[in-house]
């Protein structure tokens, strides 16, 4: 894993993830990533998470960004959208151990967070783990190679 200041990171959320997203963006800015793009939404006003998730997924798939972070209320809806994209592996995480395993075993390229069910402090701890853990490869590479449907 490259250091965070060499990574291009994207972030997307809905209204239920807006507050957490704002705190995460501030935290990431303090780490000086190579690039940081906020795909929105940009207020607590009610929105539809696919409108923000699809553009971020496409930008990661086409190589504009190395990793993404996604946040909705449970983390599930936005993950469902992202994982429709064949080049995306979005992992829903709620603990540091799962954030570590989703990199070690699943080579996740998006950390998906349940904004209504974890604290901002917990989210930031998971971000630290996610962005400092390498994929293990080996048998896990064989398994992720079998994920795409076409």
Site residues for ligand RB5 per CB under 6 A: 14, 16, 72-74, 76-77
* Active-site residue set: 72, 105
Distance between CA atoms of residues 88 and 100, nearest Å = 17
The CA-based angle 95-98-103, given to 5 degrees, is: 135
Say how far apart CA 24 and CA 116 lie, in whole Å.
Answer: 14
* Closest CB to ligand RB5 among residues 16, 108: 16
- Of 82, 84, 72, 75, which Cα lies nearest the Cα of 148? 84
In the complex with ligand RB5, which residue's Cβ is closer, 32 or 76? Answer: 76
Give how far Cα 24 sits from Cα of 38, 48, 136, Å: 10, 20, 26
Residue in this structure with the two tokens 């490869």, named with its chain if needed: 137
């Amino acid at each position: 894993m490259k250091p965070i200041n060499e990574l291009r990171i994207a972030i997307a959320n809905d209204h239920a993830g807006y507050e957490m997203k704002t705190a995460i963006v501030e935290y990431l800015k303090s780490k000086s990533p190579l690039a940081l793009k906020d795909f929105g939404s940009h207020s607590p006003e009610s929105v539809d998470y696919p409108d923000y998730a699809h553009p971020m997924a496409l930008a990661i798939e086409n190589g504009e960004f190395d990793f993404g972070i996604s946040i909705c209320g449970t983390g599930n809806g936005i993950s469902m959208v992202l994982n429709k994209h064949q080049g995306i592996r979005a992992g829903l995480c709620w603990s540091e151990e799962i954030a570590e395993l989703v990199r070690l075993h699943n080579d996740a390229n998006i950390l998906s967070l349940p904004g209504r069910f974890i604290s901002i402090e917990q989210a930031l701890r998971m971000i630290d783990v996610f962005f400092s853990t390498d994929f293990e490869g080996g048998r896990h590479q064989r398994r992720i190679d079998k994920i795409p449907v076409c």
